[in-house]
Structure 1
Amino acid sequence: MNWAVIVHGGARTIAPAMQARNRTGCAAAAGLGAACLASGASAVEAVAAAIAALEDNPVFNAGYGSVLTSAGTVEMDAALMDGQTLDVGAVACVRRLRHPIRAAGALLRAGPVFLCGQGAEDFAVEAGLALCSPEAMIAPERAAGQGHDTVGAVAMDACGHIAAGTSTGGLSGKRPGRIGDSPLPGCGLLADDTLGGVALSGEGEAMIRVTLAAYILHGLADRGAMEAARLLPARMARVGGEAGAIVIDRFGSFGVAHNSRHFAVGLQTAGMAGPIGLIDAGEWEVQGHGR
């Protein structure tokens, strides 16, 4: 079976001066995930690698690029789900992890599904991950930034197994301790080999209320990836707010939909010479992927 990977850099309005960096950043992350899959790595490993690259890029609201809370600190959330076993690992409100997605990945086989704050950081150390100072996670260009965006990835490996992951700094100026949709299975992400995988970005409180990831994933039972992704606008209309979705179905097809102005995406399949980056679904349609 051919492999596939798709990543997103967040559902939001992207200033013209930042569009090239969003495009290339997403394409580069997809390329890293693709390199993993081409070498025989699992979908879980590919998703973690792609998201770690986005966490290192201050363009995106995750890891080093995370926005600040109302207290001027960084608090990050991340989750990773294995569609073969339905194992989930999630962390929230972590401040001293360069790559929260790696801590989420370490939780996949550890027993607990969700750890937050100090408990999550203590577990990460036990799992062999290094801590950094909270100040080291504040990127100068993000210190005064606004946003509610998230990064995410979905992959299918050569064995047909699917994984999904998310990572975020959350809502700019949020109350310390606030947790959005990103680390919550069924809200910000979901993966099941029998259906596919979904990773989302957007206004977390609204997405939690409509369990958006579960809604889209279960739409794959009788729809293709693009049709399922396009369930997003009507579902979000129930509660209002921006959102974006990336989808891979069990056949390896992609779906992308958003009601935000932009939604940066990178993707690659085994049949492509290299990754491509897109800024919104309009570019997706122009290139013929949306039919």
Structure 2
Amino acid sequence: MKLIIHGGFFSESATNHETKVAKQNALERIVKSSYEFLHSHSALETVVFAVSQLEDDELFNAGIGSQIQSDGKIRMSAAVMDGETQKMSGVINIEEVKNPIQVAQVLMQEDDRVLGGSGATNYARNKGFGVFSTEIPQRRAEYEAKLKSLGTGTVGCVALDSNGKIAVATSTGGKGFELVGRISDSATVAGNYANAFCGVSLTGVGEDIVSNATASKIVTRVTDGFTLENAFKKTFDELKPYDGFAGAIAIDKNGNMFHQDSHPSMVFASFDGDEFEVFI
């Protein structure tokens, strides 16, 4: 069993020492509790469990830490993918839901598995997800002062369970001050992808990630026989011509974990039951 999570780039809150320590502690707590959860649950259930915790922590840009868009509203996106069935489900620009990743999980039972805007929000209400404001005072202050966050953020998790099954989940609160209707990479196969061979979750600038089809490229290359490290190297090299801003975490079917970012500042944590690693 293996588990790796990421908390986006930089710090979406502040970059002072106190915040860095808090973020490190949060990542350690979440990766360890999620690994414990993995002992008795599937990879699919576990990635949703982990990302829900990241959404519930205002240190990260997802759920209650989400950015405010140019019209003063918060819209979030999230997706989950089961490497065994190759089913992906997601929500794009959903509003006033505490855990978008859980809505994405429920959507997996539907034929129409990716919903956007008011359709996603209405679906959540019909499935019992109550109205919940994810705005925090700091985000409002940033918006009113027309200040952008110091980083670009998303959260994600990749898990390999005891049955050798892989799943991935990704959630984002956006980049802040974006045009209404913008679609990020998180609920697409560019930012969130898995099959029986590999699972990948991305963070960074969505437009750069989509242009490179980053997650699907890495997974496809591993499927075609590349090592995980070499798949990352080739795919990240393809970001260089336009200075693409991206970071990724992954696990392959053999339990190998890997992470890489094009602009070193991604925060992540991993745990395999014996060795814990966290980077802030």
TM-score by length of 1: 0.87
Contact 1:5 1:30 in 2 (8 A): yes
Equivalent position SS for 1:25: helix
Contact 1:13 1:261 in 2 (8 A): no
Q: Which runs of 5+ in 1 are unaligned?
A: 280-291
Partners of 1:232 and 1:148 in 2: CA distance: 20
What amino acid does structure 1 have at the position aligned with 2:89?
Answer: G
Of 264, 268, 272 in structure 1, the residue corresponding to residue 271 of structure 2 is 268
User: Does the C-alpha gap of structure 1 residues 230 and 33 become closer, same or farther in structure 2, counting only changes over 3 Å?
Assistant: farther
Of 251, 254, 277 in structure 1, the residue corresponding to residue 254 of structure 2 is 251
What amino acid does structure 1 have at the position aligned with 2:49?
Answer: A
Query: By how many angstroms is 1:140 displaced?
Result: 1.8
Aligned counterpart, 1:289: none
Matches within 5 A, 1:1-291: 3-12=1-10, 15-17=15-17, 18-38=19-39, 40-132=40-132, 136-143=133-140, 144=142, 146=149, 147-185=151-189, 187-193=190-196, 195-220=197-222, 221-272=224-275, 275-279=276-280
Equivalent position SS for 1:137: coil
Equivalent position SS for 1:57: coil
Partners of 1:271 and 1:225 in 2: CA distance: 21
Equivalent position SS for 2:242: coil
Q: Which runs of 4+ in 1 moved over 6 A?
A: none
Partners of 1:261 and 1:271 in 2: CA distance: 26
Query: By how many angstroms is 1:36 displaced?
Result: 1.3
What amino acid does structure 1 have at the position aligned with 2:233?
Answer: R
Partners of 1:36 and 1:46 in 2: CA distance: 6
Contact 1:232 1:244 in 2 (8 A): no
TM-score by length of 2: 0.91
Aligned counterpart, 2:145: none
User: Does the C-alpha gap of structure 1 residues 249 and 184 become closer, same or farther in structure 2, counting only changes over 3 Å?
Assistant: same
Partners of 1:110 and 1:13 in 2: CA distance: 35
Query: By how many angstroms is 1:32 displaced?
Result: 2.5
Contact 1:24 1:277 in 2 (8 A): no
| % identical aligned pairs | 30
Query: By how many angstroms is 1:172 displaced?
Result: 1.1
Query: By how many angstroms is 1:113 displaced?
Result: 1.9
Contact 2:11 2:60 in 1 (8 A): no
Partners of 1:236 and 1:27 in 2: CA distance: 30
Query: By how many angstroms is 1:231 displaced?
Result: 3.2
Query: By how many angstroms is 1:128 displaced?
Result: 3.0
Segment drifting more, 153-162 vs 236-245: 236-245
Contact 2:201 2:249 in 1 (8 A): yes
Partners of 1:142 and 1:224 in 2: CA distance: 41
Query: By how many angstroms is 1:232 displaced?
Result: 4.2
- Provide the aligned length of Structure 1 versus Structure 2: 269
